Structure 1
Amino acid sequence: MIKFLAFFLGCRFSYGRYREGMFSLISIFSAFGVSISIAILIVSLSAMNGFERELNQRVLAVVPHCEIEPVNHYLTEWKTLLAQIERIPDVAAAAPYIIFTGLLESSSHKLVALQVRGVDALLEHRVSECRSYLKGCSWEKFLPGRRQLFIGKGVADRLNLKLGDWMTMIMPDKYQEDKLLQPKYVRLKVTGILNFNGIRDYSLAYMPIIDVQKLLSMGHYITGISVRSYHPFEVESLINKLGENINFSAYIRSWRSTYGYMYDDIRMIRAIIYLAIFLVMGIACFSIVSTLMIAVQERRYEIAILRTLGATDSLIRAIFIWYGLLLGGVVGSVIGVSIGVLVSLKITVIIHILEKLIGCDLLSGEIYFIDFLPSELHWFDIISVLFISLVLSLVATWYPAKQASRLQPVQILRRQ
């Protein structure tokens, strides 16, 4: 009964009419500060979750988890090696590749330098999900002898190329006796456009591996082998196993050497966001202290009357604790969570509209691995933010509630 009375009086103090109006200006600013802090924290965490999701889908699903390349020569008996690698327990699949740098020239004489990767369509789909981002010809029809080429959307936009267009590739000829031969000019047809929505759209192209072997006069040799792991985050142990199972000098690279910094950056930024917004939320919540101190002065006559009616110190403290929680913890938290959730669900659209208004890309696909701001809302983040907000609001109410319980009713009523 006493607890319900404290809650009831706390509600009356919070939402009943002051002598000067509904709320004092400082109480509104306190609730507003808590709301904005919570909303910013939820939006920031959702953006970090979105970046991590896109990194998993657009990097780890496309980039080989490991690559094996010999030090001083091409791979010859690679089919035997391929079968040997796939017998390693942590290896999900393996596929051959040839890689070289070429120049693409369009009919308008524009040039773009990019990395060309020769792949076996039947084996490549086992180590990469590129076909999920492909428009045009399917991987199953990406066969040799048809002068086919898959390019990124960024390259296609730069050269004004569309599906079915023909273009010229300038590629190196075979290197012999310390002499560079005249580069080759090859006419190729754009049969597929890859749209990763990021930097890979501007730097990568695919050709059938047999066509590349013929153009580079490599015979049946390849540049290296791509490996896909069941456990991409434990790829360092896989590198050790691969090194134990090959009998030649080779470079063994993992995705961490090229994209690992992105995961580290996301984790670091997430920790910084937690710390920064926690401090901002703490400042906003502790502004409740000043609000409650003013409320204690405004309600001193009501407190004195309650004391003469038999209210104990614990009841007075409980009333103002509920008062602070309802003002900052409940009102501020509910408004902040509502704003944060709504913005998080629409942040990609909002940023897209903002980019159109200012005429500038906030995330350029030529620089970042994605060209949009992703978002993924987790209920755990919302619950964590609410819990922190309520705890800070509870701590902030303790001192004003204690001061309210120390008021002397005789002195207050005598002044009245």
Structure 2
Amino acid sequence: MSMNLSLITAIKFRKGRRKSGMVSLISIISTLSIAIGIAALIIGLSAMNGFERELNNRVLSVIPNGQFYAPYGNLDNWRHVQQQLQKNSNIVSTAPLISFAGLIENGSKLSAVEVQGVDPQQETTISALPKYVLNDKWQTFKADNQQLIIGAGLAERLSIKEGSWVSLLIPVASGSNQLKPPKRVRLQVVGILELSGSLSNNVALIPLTDAQKLLDIGDSVTSVVVNVNHVYQANQIISQAALNLDQNLMFTSWEYSFGFMYRDIQMIRQIMYLAMIVVIGVACFNIVSTLVIAVKDKQRDIAILKTLGATNQLIKHIFIWYGVISGLIGSLMGVILGVVLAWQLSNIMAVIESIIGYKLLNGHIYFIDFLPSEIHLLDVVIVFITAMLLSLIASYYPAKRACKIDPARILNSF
């Protein structure tokens, strides 16, 4: 009953605050500050969630989680290594890979490229790359047909279209000090790999057996690539798997080349949680100013309530409810605004980029060329609860101060 009475009285006090312009102005400012702070944090956290999602979907799905290779030269007994790795319960798929550097020439245009020789059948089990080849051309990607698939960034830079013929220049190793001319082969671009971002800027794919013939390495490969069941524990799983092999092989994981992305995302997320406490805390403590002025403005009402028998506990609850209601209104406004903007963040940024005529995320630098967003309910709940707790804490001092008002002194002064 006391709780209901204090809540009803707090609502009445809030409705009556319009009589005092200063109280009303400060209350509106504090409520809007909370709303803007919460909205900004939800948008920021959603953007970090989006980057992590794209890291998983666009990077970790198209690059192997790890690879094993010989300390020197090529891997001759790769089939035996592959069979051993497949027996490991933490390794979900394996595939052979040949990787070498080359140059692609199209007319007068020339560009360096990382050429990857892959098995078209096994590649579908180890990577999502086939899904990103435009027009479903992976189905026609076969050996002994002089075929090549190149990244969209490379195709744009060299003005190459699907069906074009290009020259691939492969360096030739020489044991002497003489410089040998590169091997030149003509290949047809049968597909364009569209990954968006920097991943497709300098990559080209050819069938595994074609790569073996071009490099004249027989049945050897440069490495065996693997995927693991727990991608964020790839380094530990791969190092343990290397110990169980019957030969000494070097190994690496995605963490060596792309781990910095994941660590940066997690670091920014932690910074944003810290910023959440600071920003919302500053906004919520504006409630202190509002309540202090409200207590001063409502002295006569408090004195009358005490004269009628209201206890200090009731007075305290009234002003705690007063502050919590302000925090609740600001928090709900911020959650609604933040969720709506985060939901449409990619589209909003696309409109802004079209207006200013400038890409905020350059695909030649970053692994994506758009601003992603993904709303997590847990983030929204944590931000909302934190704001409400800080509103409650901010309301305590003014509420306690209201209990110290002397009814006799206040009523005698009117």
TM-based fold match above 0.5: yes
Q: Cα–Cα, structure 1 residues 262 and 38, in superposed 2: closer, same or farther, change >3 Å?
A: same
For 1:313, the equivalent position in structure 2 comes to 312
Give the drift of 1:138: 3.5
1:270 matched to which residue of 2? 269
Which AA in structure 2 matches 1:189?
Q
Write the mapping of 1:189-200 to structure 2, written as runs, cut at 5 A: 189-200=188-199
Partner of residue 169, structure 1:
168
Distance 1:137 1:184, change over 3 A: farther
CA distance in 1, matches of 2:243, 2:42: 46
1:147-167 alpha-carbon deviations (Å, 9 max, x no partner): 211111111121222211222
Specify whether residues 18 and 237 from structure 1 end up closer, same or farther in structure 2 by C-alpha distance, changes over 3 A only: closer
Contact 1:16–1:22 (8 Å) recurs in 2: no
Query: Displacement of 1:98 after TM fit?
Result: 0.8
Structure 1 residues 293-302 or 16-25, which shifts more?
16-25
| Match of residue 93 from structure 1 | 93
Question: Matched residues in 2 for 1:3 and 1:173: separation?
Answer: 85
Opposite residue 245 of structure 2, the aligned amino acid is I
- Quote how far apart the aligned CAs of 1:21 are: 4.8
Per the TM alignment, residue 15 of structure 1 is displaced from its structure 2 partner at its CA by 2.8
The answer to whether the 8 Å contact 2:64/2:254 transfers is yes
Counterpart of 1:117, as a letter, is Q
Match of 1:335 among 320, 333, 336: 333
Q: Deviations over 1:261-294 (max 9, x none)?
A: 1111111111111111211111110111011101
- Counterpart of 2:297 in structure 1 is 298
Q: Which amino acid aligns with 2:171?
A: P
Other-structure match for 1:126: 125
- 2:399 corresponds to: 401
Structure 2 distance, partners of 1:268, 1:33, is 26
- Quick check: 2:235–2:252 contact (8 Å CA) kept in 1? no
- Equivalent-residue separation in structure 2 for 1:9 and 1:364 (angstroms): 56
Q: What is the letter of the counterpart of residue 86 of structure 1?
A: Q
Equivalent residue number for residue 151 of structure 1 = 150
CA contact (8 A) 1:172 1:216 kept: no
> Quick one: which amino acid aligns to residue 140 of structure 2?
K
1:180 and 1:248 mapped to 2: Cα distance?
35
Q: Shift of residue 27 of structure 1?
A: 1.2
Cα-Cα RMSD:
1.6
Equivalent pairs, count: 414
Question: Which deviates further from its counterpart, 184-193 or 114-123?
Answer: 184-193
CA contact (8 A) 1:347 1:373 kept: yes
Query: Corresponding residue for 1:48?
Result: 48
Amino acid at match of 1:360: Y
Whole-angstrom distance in 2 between the partners of 1:228 and 1:280: 41
Q: Is the Cα–Cα contact under 8 Å of residues 119 and 207 in structure 2 kept in the other structure?
A: yes
CA gap of 1:250–1:80, structure 2 versus 1, over 3 A, is: closer
Provide the identity percentage. 43
Match in the other structure for 1:225: 224
Deviations 1:314-361 (A, max 9, x none): 11111111111111x111001100110011101111111112222222
**How big is the shift at 1:414?**
1.3
Report the counterpart of residue 185 of structure 1 in structure 2: 184
* Residue equivalent to 1:15: 15
Instruction: Give the letter for the 2:384 counterpart.
Output: L
Deviations 1:86-121 (A, max 9, x none): 1222111111111111112223x2222121101011
Q: Residues of 2 paired with 1:13 and 1:156: CA distance?
A: 68
Shift of 1:250: 2.8
Letter in 2 for 1:46: S
Distance 1:137 1:377 in 2: 31
SS at 1:136's partner residue? helix
The TM-score, its normalising length taken from structure 1, stands at: 0.95
Stretch moving more, 20-29 or 390-399: 20-29
Q: Is the 8 A contact 1:137 1:191 kept in 2?
A: no
2:62 & 2:126 partners in 1: Cα distance? 8
Cα distance in structure 2, aligned partners of 1:353 and 1:233: 35
2:258 corresponds to:
259
